[in-house]
Amino acid sequence: MSATATMPPTAASDPSPEAPLLQRLSTLDRFLPIWIFAAMGLGLLLGRVYPDLGAQLDRVQLAGVSVPIAVGLLWMMYPVLAKVRYEAIGEHAKDTRLLGTSLVLNWVVGPLLMLGLAWIFLPDLPEYRNGLVLIGLARCIAMVLIWNELACGSGELAAVLVALNSVFQILTYSVLGWVFLTVIPGWFGAESAVLDVTMGQIARSVGIFLGVPLVAGYLTRKVLVARKGGAWYDGVFIPKIGPTALLGLLYTIVLMFAMQGHRIVELPLDVLRIAVPLLVYFVVMFGFAFWFSRRMGFDYQSTASLSFTAAGNNFELAIAVAVATFGIGSGEALAAVVGPLVEVPALIGLVYLSLALGRRWFGFTPSASESPSPATSTSTSTSAATSSARRPTTRRTTGRA
């Protein structure tokens, strides 16, 4: 079950595999799009009522990101990372097929797809095109954990993939940025740009927004399981802190729209032109990753984790780089800001699509990923989680339900 719905279904709901998808989700998950769109609307309203709110919130920054937003990012990631069974991570880290698939999707398919879409949809707007390229090169380290959790993907695998892609992001973002913004445009006789960002700056961003909640989640699990036991941790503690991840997400969305939403009102046509290739990117990238992962024979939870880590992007990094390199009033910065405004509704839609495909192609239901009951021992729940995560599922055994 997702971080926002870790308790088993009640008698009022129909957990049967034959029940409609929405009926098998918790009330909180079922109306999640409403909460998200409400948060967007509240943010826009705050931005209109208090025009200087964005500037005030942006005065203090952490790793190039507004501190209030940084708090939200850390807040929404901690409960998810506290739920990860770190004892099972080693099994995923040994699976070279999973890791190799993730690297290909994130560092070959994703950037090239975004580059192609940017040139197709924005051939006459190089600033916006550059902004999309910066987004395509910034692989996700934050919100992807939320989307993966909501789609009942493997939390352990997602943690491994996020850590792996974070290392590649530190090592390759500057180089790929130079190639995609300076070298490739020159091949077509187009205007090129210079990307001024160092590996140290990227490492600092990754260290804060991934490292801090990761260490906090690991220490929380290690200390509390040692003191209270795994049954109490999974059956009592996690159900209490899990829903706070959604609150962190909604808080972040409200602030994001309050700080940047005015640009949507001021430049609606420009925002639309930027939003279209982004929407196409999310759908195509997720769809291809899901199809390819299934063809590789991975089970549903692994497929969902691979797909969401491939489709999500690190907009915090893209915005910080765009503002630092081109200026806060640049077209690159506007494109980077539009990114998360499109990603939130797009990815929440893909969460529901993932669950629907999981049922149709894998016979997977949300109840299949519920946390163990309080009566289950730590060793048993760990073994079951590891066994489930490692159980191969080939195309021959996962036909349409």
Domains in the chain, start-ordered, CATH in brackets?
29-395 (1.20.1530.20)
Nearest to 132 by CA among 374, 336, 303: 336
**Range 21-35 average pLDDT:** 62
Q: Which residue has the higher pLDDT, 61 or 357?
A: 357
In this prediction, residue 224 has a pLDDT band, given cuts at 50, 70 and 90, of very high
Tokens representing 276 are 């279209």
Select, from the ranges 80-94, 189-203, 286-300, the one with the highest average predicted confidence (pLDDT). Answer: 286-300
What was the pLDDT predicted at 289?
96
Is residue 70 predicted with pLDDT exceeding 60?
A: yes
pLDDT beyond 60 at 5 = no
User: What is the DSSP track for 84-142?
Assistant: S-GGGHHHHHT-HHHHHHHHHIIIIIHHHHHHHHHHHH-TT-HHHHHHHHHHHHSB-SS
**What digits encode the pLDDT tens for the residues 312-365?**
887 767 776 776 677 656 788 788 878 877 887 888 899 989 999 999 999 887
> If we measure between CA atoms, which residue out of 107, 131, 159 comes closest to residue 285?
107
Q: Quote the pLDDT of residue 275.
A: 92
Token output for 373? 């009951």
Tell which wins on pLDDT, 329 or 167: 167
Q: Which residues pair with 65 in a beta bridge?
A: 62
> d(Cα 358, Cα 351) in Å, to the nearest integer?
10
Q: Comparing 107-121, 197-211, 339-353, which segment has the lowest mean pLDDT? A: 197-211
Take residue 45 and report the two structure tokens written for it.
């309203």
Compute the distance between CA of residue 378 and CA of residue 363 in angstroms, rounded to an integer. 27
Q: Mutual orientation of helices 67-83 and 212-228 as an angle, nearest 10°?
A: 40
Q: What is the DSSP letter of 274?
A: H
Q: Worst-scoring range by mean pLDDT, 25-34, 141-150, 163-172, 365-374? A: 365-374
Considering only CA atoms, give the Rg of the chain: 21
